[in-house]
Amino acid sequence: MQHAAGLEELGREIRDASRFLDLAEEQISSRIIGQKEVVHRVFIALLAGGHILLEGVPGLAKTLIVRTFAAAMNLQFQRIQFTPDMLPADLVGTMVYNPKDMEFYARQGPLFANVILADEINRSPAKVQSALLEAMQEKQVTIGSSTFPLPEPFMVLATQNPIEHEGTYLLPEAQIDRFMMKVIVGYPSYDEELGIMQLAAASGTIPEVRPVVDAGDIAAARRLVDRIYVDPRVQRYIVDLVVATRNPAAHGLASLASMIEYGASPRASIFLLLAAKAHAFLQHRAYITPEDVKAIAYETLRHRIIPGYEAEADNIRTDDFIREILQHIEVP
């Protein structure tokens, strides 16, 4: 069978270029037991240039995953604990007066790093959240009258606690939409927990993580991700999935029509495609299949679908909608 011109070559390049991800995964798993899905999603976001909202109860190693990931990827890491008294200047930086030169100069905030862990993002008021989300969108910040580009790659991993809402500021839907994925960090399995306990008790310190890649390799990998082939059939499949969240009845899902208040935005189609391409890259493939789309559909769509009153009353979650849609929309 004759394969498409360039795709075989691209496949070889991808296999070579994606090797660092396997090495990084090895490094991360030396420190993190389990949570492989979360680590894969973080890789996908890195390759697709997206940001992640991590949701999970405290104590699930969210911070450790991100810190370890940044160390393995040789990226500058910055953890920002969001608090109610925070100001946008605490994030982006501020103009500071230098009495020696009798001039103001811009002092850059903690946002100037490759990997930002925005811990408990929902603890800060809307103006701080907006400042962060603007930086995520524009990849640059303005301090005083000067605009500074953020380092490449720039990636925000924000965390929020799903069970504690006292003293929190709910992220508005428009801002949540800017996150490429919302990843639910679950509890480890029995065996994983056993391993975590033994690892922590045996050494008492966190194992060292060796950097396996540099920013240049990541940029090259991103360029390869851009070249991944997407067949029009898969593009239509993506749009079918997203449109089905907005108008389920038209896709034969009349039972969901009253359950969904608002469906996913066009940004969902864009991110679904980008994330599917990154997923194909992780599978060392030069083209995407519906499997890639399905693999990241939950993470890409779950925070973009607003359930209606009826769904909330029946305790139906957005993941249930997505499952229903994936099981109903015919695969090309």
Partner 1 sequence: MRAATLLLALLLAALPFPLLAGQTGTASTVLGVSVEPDSLYAGERVICTVRVRHPEGTLVSLELPDSTALEPFYPVGQKHSSSMLSRGLAEERFELELAVFGSGSQRLPAFALLFRDTRGRMLERQEYRPAVSVFVRTLTPSGMLELRPLKPPVDPDFPFPLLTALLLAVFGMAGVVLLALFIIKRKVRLFAETVDPAQEARRKLGKLHNRLSSGLPPAECYAELSAVMREYLERHYHIRALEAVTQEIERDLRKLGVSSFDAIMNLLRQADLVKFADSRPSAEETRNSTRQAEEIVSSGRSGSH
Q: Using CB under 8 A as the criterion, which residues of the chain lie in contact with partner 1 when the complex forms?
A: 1-4, 7, 229, 231, 233-234, 286-291, 294, 326-332
Minimum CB distance to partner 1 smaller for 65 or for 234: 234
CB 324 to partner 1: min, Å: 11
- Cα separation, 115 vs 54, in Å, equals 14
Residue 94 corresponds to which amino acid? T
The least distance separating partner 1 from the CB of residue 9, rounded to whole angstroms, comes to 13
10 Å CB burial of residue 279 (0-12, 13-18, 19+) is: buried
Query: What one-letter code names the amino acid at 127?
Result: K
Instruction: Please state the closest distance from residue 248 (CB atom) to partner 1, in A.
Output: 15
- The C-alpha atoms of residue 315 and residue 310 are separated, in whole angstroms, by 9
Structural contact between residues 11 and 52, judged by C-beta atoms closer than 8 angstroms: no
Quick one: 198 exposed, middle or buried, by C-beta within 10 A (0-12, 13-18, 19+)? Answer: exposed
To partner 1, the closest distance from the beta carbon of 40 in angstroms equals 15
Q: Which is nearer to partner 1, 139 or 323 (CB)?
A: 323
DSSP string, 229-257: B--HHHHHHHHHHHHHHH-GGGGT-HHHH
Based on CB atoms, which residue is closest to partner 1, 143 or 241?
241
Please identify, using beta-carbon distances, which residue of 118 and 329 lies nearer to partner 1. 329
State which residue, 192 or 240, has the beta carbon closest to partner 1: 240
- Cβ-contact 290, 235 below 8 angstroms: no
Nearer to partner 1 (CB atom), residue 23 or residue 326: 326
The CB-of-230 to partner 1 minimum distance in angstroms stands at 8
Instruction: Report the nearest approach of partner 1 to the CB of residue 327 (Å).
Output: 6
- Burial of 142 (C-beta count, 10 Å sphere; 0-12/13-18/19+): middle
